[in-house]
Structure 1
Amino acid sequence: MSENTPAPWEQTPVPAEHQHLIDAVAERPMLENVGALADLLAQLPPEMSLWLDEHAREDPANRLKAQFLAVTPRIVGVSNSDGPEGPRMEAGLELGIVHVPHNNSPAERVALVTRRDLPPDSTYDRAEHRMELGQVPAALGDLNSLLQDVASLLVAATEWMDRDSTDAEALHVEASRINQTAARIGQMAKTIREEDCG
């Protein structure tokens, strides 16, 4: 990967002349072992740029199900300005991780790992992703959860301290304040959702 090659963007189209590369990757939507990755790489040009999706992805509807992590490849459009003719689009290989429910059928697994709309599994990253899409109530709901997690960690920290210390007492106060903020943000998310849908 060249230092001057910017990262691929979700909506960047792949040039039509690279359809054969898309087809090669489509035959291997999930890479279950090193051999599967090696077989895929043998089908691709050695000079192709390689990218890692910065987020593990998850369908929020599956969050409460038992899941495993699947490595999944895809061809992405990459803007490359290294050539003498100036900026041009070329194909790159991106490897990602998707949470897949154990009880899904093989067809359902393929349908899930090839979706391009899956949000990050990290609460903060998911909130940021949803905010960028203008999904304000959902983003605020994620921030509510994140703040509750922060408050819980502050309380957990006091378990390692003298419970009568001023520091432990101060952490409990801060955790309470954060929980109150989380509750207000959760209420705002509900109000905004009702106003948008009402």
Structure 2
Amino acid sequence: MKQRTLVVVTAGLSQPSSTRLLADQLAGAVLAAGAERDLDLRVIELRGLAHDIADHLLTGFPPAALKDALDAVAGADGLIAVTPIFTAGYSGLFKSFFDVLDKDALADKPVLIAATAGTARHSLVLEHALRPMFAYLRAVVVPTAVFAASDDWGADSSDGSLRSRITRAAKELAVEVSRREPAQVADPFALTVNFEDLL
């Protein structure tokens, strides 16, 4: 049985980052929810790939580190995508990464979307910006999106708490991953036509 892979893309700019903190908590919850399946975890911090992403946008060719990250996303069985919110929208770094991703890389791939911001007033960005972007990329976005404002990090546990939202979203992603066949990435150099047929 092929090893399943969970990839986390986080676009936090600072170190430490509340975006990375949320990404780590989501990943841990998905691994716990999918305990019956062995999932490999790969975290991609876009902060370290910022120059590579800009170079790829300008040249059309990804440097090696970025190509490795793009290949990891394409080959993932499930994806967690977390961005900080700036000026009522996802970060430019986050969007640029998905702009250089192959247009078919996320087709039918389960995705959990999440975001962080200083205030809860930005929470609708998940629904008016992130969910439509991933729908355009033909990903299967789980119903529960997770938003964490600064106040959420100190909140106590209740039905609407950050912890309960993380747990619910993680279970939804684990179910979507488990009900699909392992991800297959087509080899772009594989011969799909018999050589004799080409003659």
TM-score range, shorter chain: under 0.3
Please, what TM-score do these two structures have when normalized by structure 1? 0.23
Please, what TM-score do these two structures have when normalized by structure 2? 0.23
Structure number with bigger Rg: 1
